Amino acid sequence: MKTTLSPRWAPGLLCAFTLIEILVVITIIAILAGVALPVYQTAVMSGRQNAAMQNARQIGLALRAYANDQGGIYPSGTNSYGEAIKTSNDAFRSLIPNYLDNEQVFVVARSKDGPKADNKIDPYTEILKAGENHYAYITGLGDTSNSLWPLIVDGANADGKYTNVEGDPGGVWKGTKALVINADSSAHLVPLQGTGAERYIPRFDDPTQDLLNLSYMGSSNQLLEPAAN
């Protein structure tokens, strides 16, 4: 008896699929996409965090160079242009152009406080205008301060806390981590504690305490957030 192939399986002919087979393929693709998307998003955020950390480290090193020229003291009181330091923008303005030559290291894409900068630094009033700086700054420190104390951190909300809502103040990393540059210019990505809009950086000596509650430093230290955008 001669056996013949059905048209569906005949060589050279386009194979047809049943509806069930198509649904199975679509389901498998959906499952793979559901697994791959979070991994991809995590990888993208990790890349953004590492790029931001490199930029923030440059700011820390520039502050250290500034302190070397100012008796070991980081910007405090008034900046290099005679302005009262009321925001972190005011403090960081002291670094341009003598210690840093552009504004790009101060910005983080998707930041509520500092998503972009125009690199206009002349006249000095153009330096780090509102919206051109993402980072907060702690006053009253010097190059001999405790190396575990924070000097630069990601901009937070009005309460010095972080949130898991991207687009809100303090939400640039969706409540996962915060970037910290210590007084010795070392850089760290620190996992946040807490929930919702009450996330905080755990203190180095007691993870239940907020690093940005600066009472452990003394009365002369203050957290300065970026200028309102």
Per-residue pLDDT of the chain (229 residues; tens, 9 = 90+): 454 544 454 454 445 678 787 887 788 887 877 776 677 677 788 899 999 999 999 999 999 999 999 999 999 999 999 999 999 999 999 999 999 999 999 999 999 999 999 999 999 999 999 999 999 999 999 999 999 999 999 999 989 999 999 999 999 999 999 999 999 999 999 999 999 999 999 999 999 999 999 999 988 899 999 998 7
Q: How far apart are CA 107 and CA 111, in angstroms?
A: 8
- Domain assignment of residue 94, given as a range: 19-224
| Sign of torsion over alpha carbons 126, 131, 137, 140 | positive
Q: Residue 54 has which token pair? A: 């490199």
What are the distances in angstroms from CA 101 to CA 72, 123, 155, 170, 191?
Answer: 22, 14, 22, 27, 31
Instruction: Report if residue 229 sits inside a domain.
Output: no
Backbone angles phi, psi at 165, to 5 degrees: -100, 105
Instruction: Report if residue 38 sits inside a domain.
Output: yes
CA neighbor of 138 nearest in space, from 149, 129, 130, 147: 149
> So what's the pLDDT on residue 37?
66
Instruction: Report if residue 81 sits inside a domain.
Output: yes
Q: Please name the residues in contact with 133: beta carbons below 8 A apart, sequence gap of 6 or more.
A: 88, 89, 92, 103, 106, 107, 113, 114, 117, 155, 226, 227
Q: Residue 139 has which token pair? A: 């006053």
Q: How far apart are CA 83 and CA 203, in angstroms?
A: 32
Q: What's the total number of domains in the chain?
A: 1
Q: Where are the beta strands (DSSP E) in 102-196?
A: 135-138, 150-154, 177-182, 187-191
Amino acid at 95: L
> So what's the pLDDT on residue 40?
63
Helices (H), the chain: 19-69, 88-92
Instruction: Report if residue 9 sits inside a domain.
Output: no
> So what's the pLDDT on residue 18?
84
Instruction: Report if residue 146 sits inside a domain.
Output: yes
